[in-house]
Amino acid sequence: MVKMVSLSNKAYSELKDIKNIDESFSDVILRLLKNTKDIKQFAGTLKDYKSELDLMEERITEDRKNNNGRYQ
């Protein structure tokens, strides 16, 4: 089944730029989607590093206070 979609000129141009000569636009989109990662796969990966993450958060908060939210 074929579906029509609308793309902005910029999106079309960028897809066209990465499209191989033997690919359709559908092939390009499927190739790009295949290479994306589902963010849910990372859920819980840092649970064993809670103390390190808490320390990083404290340091970031302190740096922000010391620099009035600006980094030099």
> Which sequence spans correspond to the domains of the chain?
9-37+44-66
Confidence of residue 71 (pLDDT cuts 50, 70, 90): low
Q: How many Å apart are CA 33 and CA 20, to the nearest integer? A: 16
Beta strands in 1-72 (DSSP E): none
Element (H, E) at 72: none
Residue with tokens 């191989």: 20
19-57 confidence digits (pLDDT tens): 999 999 999 999 988 877 777 888 888 889 999 999 999
Check pLDDT > 70 for residue 72: no
Confidence of residue 69 (pLDDT cuts 50, 70, 90): low
Smallest CA-to-CA distance from 11 within 40, 32, 39, 42 is with: 32
